[in-house]
Amino acid sequence: MSLSNADLGKTAKPIMRVLAGDTLERPPIWLMRQAGRYLPEYRAVRAEAGSFLDLCYSPKKAAEVTLQPIRRFGFDAAILFSDILVVPHAMGQTVTFVEGEGPRLSPPLDSAGCDNIGAVDLARLDPVFEAIGLIKTQLPAETALLGFCGAPWTVASYMIAGQGSRDLETVRLFAYRHPEAFGRLMDKIVEGSARYLAAQVKAGVDAVQIFDSWASVLPPAQFKAWCVDPMRRLVAEFRRLAPGVPVIGFPREAGGNLAAYCRDVPVECLGVGTADNIVQLRKIIGNSLPVQGNLDPLALVAGGRSLDESVAGILSDFAGKPHIFNLGHGILPHTPIAHVERLVALVRG
């Protein structure tokens, strides 16, 4: 691996130290979707911005909402405010977010669409890189800035179904029926995502996370072909373009397939979902790979004893090994702010 742990370990940022393999006395903490609707200050900026994509492509507003949870809670990492679906947008698909219904991509890709869709046009993502520059000027020195993209499988699932779908029936059937067209689409997503992540690094992010939100639905052979192999190629290309930058892989709730992911995708940190069993997983992957996760977002909504006991359980399960505290999935809009404050206090001791 090109990454020098010794170099990374010297930086003061706690997240970067864990990504370099250090075990800290208290794990650093950030939350997936930490900039979002549970914050009144986010809702205020969101209301001014117009559409959700307008918010993502307004450098000042995107920088502002990225920094809001850092100011309020002092998390150890800020995550760039954007969305994984800006990649299909930069490939030429129309992307909209329907209030209460989630994303819509049009036209949904058929075989011809997979061939005709363009490569990622990085110029369309300039506002994202500009936002990163603005965030960097205002971020505390000890706070890491994370960039991200979606994993090819998860991104392709939205491009082909045109929306989110239960059990990913549309994309799974498409990939079985049209393996060549599907493969050509995956190649374009892999290549474009690696360039996009490298451009985020050039703009100033410290590390990147790759979200595979829908990694949980596949049999082992398809998990290897549609999740692991494209991820391995993406990470390899990213490393070539941006050597030495840590990658957090998040194959959410991949369960029995997590071991294959850890073996074949060379990430510096494994993100685990709410239902993933870290104690069993450690028996397979050993104790040295940093792991990020995995509080149930609903335990955070519930608060009280459920929250206290869940946090204590995670701190004990992950103790003595490199760990970044996080949720197992994004924070929910109805999460009380007082519960997030309590969480940070519990984790920091």
Residues labelled as active-site residues: 33, 37, 46, 83, 158
Beta bridge partner(s), residue 251 = 212
How far is it, in rounded angstroms, from Cα 307 to Cα 310? 5
Residue with tokens 């609707």: 37
Type of residue at 166: R
Q: Helix, strand, or coil here: 24?
A: coil
Mapping DSSP to helix (H, G, I), strand (E, B) and coil, where does residue 324 land? strand
And the tokens for 89? 């947008």
In whole angstroms, the minimum distance from the beta carbon of 46 to ligand CP3 comes to 5
All residues at 6 or more sequence positions from 315 whose CB lies less than 8 Å from its CB, including other chains: 27, 325, 347
Q: How many CB atoms lie within 10 A of CB 130?
A: 17
What number of residues does the chain have?
349
Q: Which of 237, 270, 263 is nearest to 21 (CA)?
A: 270
CB 182, CB 175: distance < 8 Å: yes
Separation of alpha carbons 64 and 61, rounded Å: 5
Contacts of 265 (CB under 8 A, 6+ apart): 228, 231, 232, 235, 249
Q: Residue 126: phi, psi to the nearest 5?
A: -50, -40
Residue number, 208 or 321, with CB nearest to ligand CP3: 208
Residue nearest ligand CP3, Cβ-based: 213
d(CA 3, CA 16) in angstroms, rounded, equals 12
Using the minimum distance from each CB to ligand CP3, give the nearer residue, 35 or 160: 35
Supply the DSSP symbol for 123.
G
The site for ligand CP3 (CB under 6 A) is made up of: 32-37, 46, 52, 79, 81-85, 97, 102-103, 148, 154, 164, 211, 213, 330
Min dist. Cβ of residue 54 to ligand CP3 (A): 11
| Interatomic CA distance for residues 313 and 39, integer angstroms | 27
What are the residue ranges of helices labelled H in the chain?
A: 5-10, 14-19, 40-49, 52-56, 59-73, 86-90, 111-116, 126-138, 152-161, 169-177, 179-203, 220-222, 229-241, 258-264, 278-285, 297-302, 304-318, 337-348
